[in-house]
């Protein structure tokens, strides 16, 4: 009964948002062009060429902003290359991130909405800010996440995710395929 009610409410919410889709599509991020902040990593998808960019949100002194250390947005490469905000559903169910300070106060632990088991770390290291993850059992500088999915009636189904990065000591490329 609870599952059925939850599904009905979710569908009702989605149906209520559909008429607003043109409005949401027209909403773009007003803050500057891409590349103004240090790029941490991107998410590419099999669906189209659009990517989600994750950038460090720095204060004037170069430290990460504790209120919002990372900013995520669409880069609409399949269309006109413009920057667009993530909508509410994308933030809550797929590409949104939660950040909390790590125990040593040296950076932040990030959790992606759709992949809560994968922990990412953002740190200031010298003059650079980078995202780190454990890829194939090794610490790595995260560069990209690729998501392979296929369409279904009630939204896409993820077939697998691939994490790509570089070993921070050797510079060697590392990758890992994760099947949900």
Q: Note down pLDDT in tens along the chain; length 180 residues.
A: 443 333 333 333 333 333 333 333 333 333 334 456 899 999 999 999 999 999 999 999 889 999 999 999 999 999 999 999 999 999 999 999 999 999 887 899 999 998 899 999 999 887 899 999 999 999 999 999 999 999 998 888 899 999 999 999 999 999 999 998
Domain residue limits, the chain: 2-178
**Which residues partner with 135 through β-bridges?**
138
DSSP 58: B
Confidence (pTM):
0.78
Please provide residue 5's backbone torsions phi and psi, each rounded to the nearest 5 degrees: -60, -40
**Which residues partner with 152 through β-bridges?**
none
Cβ 74 vs Cβ 54: under 8 Å: no
């Amino acid at each position: 009964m609870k599952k059925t009610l939850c599904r009905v409410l979710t569908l009702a919410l989605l149906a209520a948002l559909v008429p607003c889709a043109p409005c949401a599509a027209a909403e773009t991020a007003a803050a500057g062009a891409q590349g103004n902040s240090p790029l941490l990593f991107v998410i590419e998808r099999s669906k189209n060429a659009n990517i989600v960019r994750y950038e460090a949100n720095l204060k004037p002194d170069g430290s990460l902003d504790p209120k919002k250390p990372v900013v995520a947005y669409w880069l609409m490469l399949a269309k006109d290359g413009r920057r667009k905000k993530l909508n509410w559903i994308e933030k809550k169910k797929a590409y949104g991130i939660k950040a909390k300070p790590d125990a040593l106060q040296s950076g932040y632990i990030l959790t992606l909405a759709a992949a809560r088991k994968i922990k990412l770390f953002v740190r200031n290291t010298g003059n650079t800010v980078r995202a780190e993850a454990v890829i194939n059992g090794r610490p790595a500088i995260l560069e990209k996440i690729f998501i392979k999915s296929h369409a279904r009636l009630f939204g896409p189904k993820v077939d697998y995710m691939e994490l790509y990065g570089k070993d921070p000591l050797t510079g060697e490329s590392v990758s890992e395929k994760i099947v949900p």
